[in-house]
Amino acid sequence: MGVCLATSGPGATNLVTGIANAYLDSVPMVALTGQVQTWFIGKDAFQEIDITGITLPITKHNSLVLDVNDLAEAIKEAFYIARTGRPGPVLIDIPQDVLTNICEYHYPAHADLPGYRLPLQGHPAQIRKAAKMINEARNPVIVAGRGVIISGAFQELKQLAESSQIPVVNTLLGITAFPTNHVLSLGMGGMHGTAYANKAIDACDVLIAIGMRMDDRLTGQVSGFAPNAKIIHVDLDPAEIGKNVRVDVPIVGDIKKVLSALNKLISASQHVEWINDIEQWRTKYPLYRATDCEQLMPQHIMKHLNEATHGDALLVTGVGQHQMWAAQYYESNTVNSFISSGGLGTMGFGLPAAMGAKVGMPDKTVWCIDGDGSFQMTLHELATLVQDNIAVKIAIFNNGYLGMVRQWQELFFKRNYVGTPLTCPDFVKLAEAYCIPALRVTTQEEVPGAIKQAMDHDGPFLIDFMVEPEANVFPMVPPGAALAQFMDQPKKEVTAWPRQNTL
């Protein structure tokens, strides 16, 4: 679990985006901020800011400790709250005098929180009802989210899917909850989900939502989401059930416990016709592989990354087109090996998160997949990367644009490219300035060699992939449309827009 320290005032406010990101993506985290001395509080003292007030709506809990005797209890509570139940960020604001005061140390064995109880076991009657619904379903579909990963319910999910032959769609943050190469896996659903995943959600008669929160990027227009389906929603957080989408069978509880109870009641079935339907969609609307392109396309990079890492690396992304390409094409074989910013869509998430991932799992190969726009939002972290010698491999999908917004401008605003063309620095020279070895790749042929060189190097490495500037992410469900109304990859790529770049 992540812990971060910041000083009062600007140090604390600089944490806000990170905290909000953790809040929306249920990431356990404790933030410790310094505060001015207790007697200065409320006086607008130097570097005094009301950080508990600022972070109130973006933390699972927060507190201002005014007495050193309360400090141990506050720390105990913070860690307990952050990592249990639905995880989330907790902030403790500690005035300077509280930090330097001395008291008798008593660390409580338990956090005393009468208002914090965790509904662990699902309601048996609801589980029976869900089981009956699943057993009677003709076209069932599972949508698995990050809750499955948090709960460690991979085996249970797999058993549910396999015993009853139910296809599995993943949310963005749930990508590794179910093996991507499994025959029942339909990949990611939603705005940039696979066509067959969205078709399956559209046509299913029972939708089993597990550990996900019906985010609008997944559901599309809510009235058109799984229009013919009865919906079973399993989640630890009761407030997520029925918040965005009507639910027929709500089950509040720990995913692992609920699924293992549910699995006992599921009878084996094949759903032959349904699986056939889906296979036909899979054949009719496959993910675009860019085999007809001579230019360097993001798909080529993802293909070689899959081959080089065998789906065993940790992939950490920024936010934008590159993130969607990574989500669509990464063939993960390892649970929890895809880290991305979901709810907040925080550009600049990639590099610092990849560094955290590498520090947390030093034996893993960690790839930071970033865009040229996203990367520039936090590229100053290269200093920390070098200072602490964190061996992150950075792949920049450089298209000279804030590509996702450009894509919307192209598709929905008549190519009125406002604010999206980027004048990027020379990323290779930038990396070299930090003494990080780097390569520029401009053709398909150079990709595998560059990836190998990066992985063979013992330490951080940067590759600047000069990809097709106007490549778009498809399929795409237009904003406000239902999932079934996805746009597929057009047959011909649009011609390139003149690139504004220092290169």
Q: Measured between alpha carbons, how far is 400 from 427 in angstroms, rounded to an integer? A: 12
d(CA 212, CA 346): 19
Q: Which stretch binds other proteins (CB under 8 A): 52-60, 216-224, 288-296, 454-462?
A: 52-60
Does residue 42 interact with other proteins by CB under 8 A?
no
Distance in angstroms (rounded) separating the CA atoms of residues 374 and 357:
18
CB 74 → other proteins: shortest distance, Å?
11
Q: Which residues pair with 95 in a beta bridge?
A: 35
Pick from 18, 25, 28, 60: which binds other proteins (CB under 8 A)?
Answer: 60
Look at the block and give the residue holding tokens 């999206």. Answer: 420
**Minimal distance, residue 131 CB to other proteins, in Å:** 20
Selected from 250, 298, 311, 350, the binder of other proteins by CB under 8 A is 250
Q: Which is nearer to other proteins, 114 or 419 (CB)?
A: 114
Q: In whole angstroms, what is the distance from residue 463 CA to residue 465 CA? A: 6
For residue 124, state whether it binds other proteins (rule: CB under 8 A): no
For residues 111 and 80, is the Cβ–Cβ distance under 8 A? yes
CB-based burial, 167-190: b 16+ in 10 Å, e otherwise: bbbbbbbbbbbbbbeeebbbbbbb
| Closer CB to other proteins, 257 or 304, in the complex | 257
Q: How far apart are the C-alpha atoms of 406 and 384, rounded to whole Å?
A: 31
CB of residue 142 to other proteins, shortest distance in Å: 23
- 86 and 117 Cβ atoms separated by less than 8 Å: no
What binding mask, one character per residue, do residues 80-119 give for other proteins by CB under 8 A, x or -?
-x-------------------------------xxxxx-x
The contact mask relative to other proteins for 199-238 (x = CB under 8 A, - = no) is --------------------------------------xx
Place of tokens 């089993």: 208
Span of 50-58, 171-179, 381-389, 399-407 interacting with other proteins by CB under 8 A: 50-58
What tokens were used for 371?
């865009």
Q: Smaller CB distance to other proteins: residue 3 or 120?
A: 120
Query: Quick check: 242 binds other proteins (CB under 8 A)?
Result: yes
Nearest by Cα to 478 from 424, 413, 389: 413
Give contact residues for other proteins (rule: CB under 8 A). 52-53, 56-57, 60-61, 64, 81, 113-117, 119, 237-239, 241-243, 250, 252
